[in-house]
Amino acid sequence: MQPSQTKPETLRQPAYDIDPVFIQRWSPRSFANKDVPEETLFSLFEAARWAPSANNMQPWRFIVARTKEDLETFHSFILPGNLAWCQNAPALAVLASATTTERGDNRAHAFDAGTAWGYLALEATRQGLVTHAMGGFDREKARAALGLPDDVEPQIVIAIGYRGEKEALPENLQEREQPNGRRPLNETVFEGGFGKVIDALK
């Protein structure tokens, strides 16, 4: 850990005992110029694969880019604001979700894909990697570039790699290069009905 890299734990304090990995995981924008070993990269998808899903339908599909050619294709559908930082990530992945199954529409496809993304991000943290998900990409361009079937919907693009120096970022992004906070738990968890605050919550 370099001096220019803030440790998440110094900015985030959990209110209850949880696995430290939840606090350690955050979404930096600076990526080191360092490739991700194949076995390590695959382990992230392996963690995602074991996510729970409605009727175990596993709607998640990942399309990864790690060659210069594939990365350039992915860059072509990422919006400029994100491309400014994610162009240095050694791997990108589109997470898409299958909106139907043989039995009809899957109403939980986006929700379940979100669970898989969360598991990927946690395993990445455990392996010393960082991830950053983006919704800012051109979905129609992505659909065309990746040959997505009509019933497969792109959800996010994930940048994957090792954390870089803050100073390597464009200046306007340097001050944002630290973990963000969260809404208090008593505005997030209610009891018995919506908005009914739990007094015991820290």
Greatest C-alpha distance within the chain: 55
Q: Long-range contacts made by residues 6-15, C-beta under 8 angstroms, separation at least 24? A: 6/177, 6/178, 6/179, 8/179, 11/178, 11/179, 11/181, 12/179, 12/181, 15/185, 15/201, 15/202
Report d(CA 83, CA 87) in Å as an integer: 5
Compare residues 4 and 15 and give the one whose CB is closer to a second copy.
15
Compare residues 167 and 191 and give the one whose CB is closer to a second copy.
191
| Beta carbons of 40 and 168 less than 8 angstroms apart | no
| Closest approach of a second copy to the CB of residue 162, in Å | 17
Q: Check residue 6 and report its DSSP letter.
A: -
Report d(CA 36, CA 57) in Å as an integer: 29
| Closest approach of a second copy to the CB of residue 143, in Å | 9
| Closest approach of a second copy to the CB of residue 125, in Å | 10
| Closest approach of a second copy to the CB of residue 56, in Å | 5
Report d(CA 98, CA 62) in Å as an integer: 11
- One-letter amino acid at 172 equals N
| Closest approach of a second copy to the CB of residue 24, in Å | 10
Compare residues 3 and 38 and give the one whose CB is closer to a second copy.
38
Compare residues 26 and 85 and give the one whose CB is closer to a second copy.
26
Compare residues 136 and 167 and give the one whose CB is closer to a second copy.
136
